Structure 1
Amino acid sequence: MVDTFYNPVTTYFGKGSLCKLKELTENETVTLVTFPEAESLGLIEKIKLLLGDRLVHIIQNVQPNPDVIQLKEIYEYFWEKFEDCDTVLAIGGGSSIDTAKALIVGTESKKFEELLEPLVTGKKFTPTKYKKLIAVPTTAGTGSEVTPWATIWDSKEQKKYSLHLDCTWPKVAIIDPDLMLTVPRAITISTGLDALSHALESIWNVNSNPVSDIFAISAIEDILDCLPKLSQDLLNENLRSKMALAALKAGIAFSNTKTALAHSISYEMTLRYGLAHGIACSFTLPYVLGLAWGKSKSRDQIFKKMFGNSLEDAQTQLLNFLHSLDVKTEFCDYGVYADEQMEMINYAMQGARGKNFIGVSLS
């Protein structure tokens, strides 16, 4: 068996690295995609100072879990008015970056439905044109800056779609921990747990490989150590930097494996109950670890290296970690009881991400 690892994103990491934008967009026009609070935080002013008249369009109303209704309006206005724009710059959490990934993919008609239709039907889609994407995360968690996937939601139809094309890999990622200093505690925890889930999901995954394992193990060790401390000391620059690097490593890990069962369950929890993504994909981690344990000798070696030889002790470690962050870990804590819980898990196992889970493929 030959393992392959691939990640084409040029990545800049470190305090003050946002300043790289000036040289990275030389002689280019730029559209900024960001979140509503970016202006009050001074982010938009920073970008204006760095880019000057290169910044030709600003989209600053991106909401959590980008929905097809909002995306249609943003997409069609952009392609009608700013088709000649060279680069899309996404600054924010996963929702801003995912919105930008959808935005950069051009269609012949300039209509969003032409992009959405193959996601709904599963038909192959080749874009007629696309824009360069620079991704700048302001949270330490989603990993979207170093992956090609964009999650698109249809709340009306209770559906979730994953956009994934060669062109939706960001060209450049800039991870500047300074941008994360103002993130509130709840979002710091939620996004940090998303990163933990990415790392664990890349290990109990049929697509795991030795390189993704290295990134994942390092990310898990750092998150378990750092996130509880950071949740109590939000302005600590060293902890912010450590958490940003851990999230980056987790993103690089699952950029090659995709996610698995915990994420597949999370989509239903978000659609049905509105649970924040980072909590939805992490509260089941101790449970999913129990399903993964014993299914693969090589995976068990990693689990035991991180958590010790006992499954019960390993699950207790994860439970205690989550509880220390005020995260509830039972389905019933979120209004999901026994029958619906099993229905949801069985449904998740049949999903595209669920089928990546070693407990499904080897059962």
Structure 2
Amino acid sequence: MIARFHNPVDTRFGWGSLHQLADITEHQTVALVTFPEARGLGLVDRIQDLLGDRLVYVIEDVQPNPDVAQLRDTYERFWQEAGECHAVIAVGGGSAIDTAKALIVGTESGRFDELLALLATGKPFVPARSKALIAAPTTAGTGSEVTPWATIWDSASHKKYSLHLECTWPKVAIIDPQLMLTVPGGVTVSTGLDALSHALESVWNVNANPVSDTFAISAIADILECLPLLRRDLANSELRSRMALAALKAGLAFSNTKTALAHSISYEMTLRYGLPHGIACSFTLPLVLGMAWGHDAARDRTLQRIFGNDLHKAQNQLREFLHSLGVKTEFADYGVTAEQAEQMIDFAMQGARGKNFIGAKAA
């Protein structure tokens, strides 16, 4: 097999790397997309100090799991009031970066429903206009800064839209672990488990290759060791840096493979049961590991480099790791019956992400 790996994102990693924003955006006007607490944490002022009068527009009311109900007004105001800016910088977690990805895809009319109609076709399209995106994550987990995908939710209709175009690859990713120092324990765990899910999902994946495996294996080892330590010592700059790098490696891994079954299951768990994304896609990892084992000799060898040769012990290791972080690992723990769980797994197998799973063809 000839392995192919491609990631076009200009990636800057390191403590204090946010300072490079001024040089990256030289001679450009910039809009900022961030989360409500960012101003209180001093992040908006820091961006303002770095950019000066090049910062022409600020959106600071991003909510978790960007929903069409809120995005519609934000999108249309952005294109009316900041349509001439050159670039958008997203500073925040996956929701801020996903929101920014939706905003930069401009429609002919400037109306959000035109974008939704294009997404509903499920076919790629070339937008009428677009903006350059710079992504500076404040959490170690989503990988959105080095991938083109964004999820847009329609909770009222129990639907989701997947956005991924050539223009939704960030032009630059700034991974500055200093931005992650103030992330509370619960979010640290949830986003760290999202990164673990990305890495594992890229391994039990029909699109896996030796290059993506290299990133994934390293990320998994780091997260299994580092995340419990960080949970107990949230102000530790070394641990924050290690988790930031692990999440970046996980992002690079699944930027080429996409995710698989655990993520496909997670969408229903978020839409119908309100689980935060990191928990929704990680609580099934021991189960999915068992479903992946034995389908492909090469994938088994990769999994065994991480967990050893005993499946039962491997599942227990993952289960105990999740339990140590306060994450329950059974569907019943979330109010899902055995029959509902079986139906959910069957449905997830049919989704685009479910079909990436190495066990999907045998199902």
TM-score range, shorter chain: over 0.9
* C-alpha distance in 2 between matches for 1:47 and 1:226: 30
Residue number in structure 1 paired with 2:204 = 204
**Aligned residues with identical type, % of pairs:** 70
Question: Do 2:72 and 2:112's aligned partners in 1 also have CA atoms closer than 8 Å?
Answer: yes
Question: Do 2:124 and 2:165's aligned partners in 1 also have CA atoms closer than 8 Å?
Answer: no
Residue number in structure 1 paired with 2:110 = 110
Residue number in structure 1 paired with 2:34 = 34
Q: Match of 1:12, SS?
A: strand
Unpaired stretches in structure 1, ≥5 consecutive residues: none
* C-alpha distance in 1 between matches for 2:78 and 2:362: 46
- 2:330 maps to a residue whose letter is E
Q: Match of 2:28, SS?
A: coil
CA distance 1:362–1:342, change in 2 (3 Å): closer
Residue number in structure 1 paired with 2:141 = 141
Deviations 1:94-114 (A, max 9, x none): 000000001111111111111
* C-alpha distance in 2 between matches for 1:215 and 1:115: 34
Deviations 1:88-132 (A, max 9, x none): 000000000000001111111111111111211224421111101
Using structure 2 for the length normalisation, give the TM-score: 0.99
Q: How many residues align?
A: 363
Residue number in structure 1 paired with 2:24 = 24
Q: Match of 2:84, SS?
A: coil
Residue number in structure 2 paired with 1:178 = 178
- 2:94 maps to a residue whose letter is G
Question: Do 2:142 and 2:247's aligned partners in 1 also have CA atoms closer than 8 Å?
Answer: yes
Q: Match of 2:170, SS?
A: coil
Greater Cα shift, 194-203 or 107-116: 107-116
**Pairing of 1:140-289 with structure 2 (within 5 A):** 140-289=140-289
Question: Do 2:33 and 2:59's aligned partners in 1 also have CA atoms closer than 8 Å?
Answer: yes
Residue number in structure 1 paired with 2:90 = 90
Indicate yes or no: 2:28 matched with 1:57: no
Residue 69 of structure 1: how far off its partner (Å):
1.5
Unpaired stretches in structure 2, ≥5 consecutive residues: none
- The 4+ residue runs of structure 1 with deviation greater than 4 A are none
Residue number in structure 1 paired with 2:11 = 11
* C-alpha distance in 2 between matches for 1:348 and 1:200: 17
- 2:7 maps to a residue whose letter is N
- 1:247 maps to a residue whose letter is A
Question: Do 2:195 and 2:247's aligned partners in 1 also have CA atoms closer than 8 Å?
Answer: yes
Residue number in structure 1 paired with 2:307 = 307
* C-alpha distance in 2 between matches for 1:278 and 1:121: 28
* C-alpha distance in 2 between matches for 1:70 and 1:31: 18
Q: Match of 1:6, SS?
A: coil
* C-alpha distance in 2 between matches for 1:206 and 1:163: 21
Q: Match of 2:157, SS?
A: coil
* C-alpha distance in 2 between matches for 1:236 and 1:77: 40
* C-alpha distance in 2 between matches for 1:123 and 1:149: 14
Question: Do 2:94 and 2:142's aligned partners in 1 also have CA atoms closer than 8 Å?
Answer: yes
Residue number in structure 2 paired with 1:331 = 331
Residue 85 of structure 1: how far off its partner (Å):
0.3
* C-alpha distance in 1 between matches for 2:340 and 2:138: 35
* C-alpha distance in 1 between matches for 2:157 and 2:340: 20
Residue number in structure 2 paired with 1:129 = 129
Deviations 1:168-221 (A, max 9, x none): 000000000000000000000000000000000000000111110000000000
Question: Do 2:3 and 2:210's aligned partners in 1 also have CA atoms closer than 8 Å?
Answer: yes
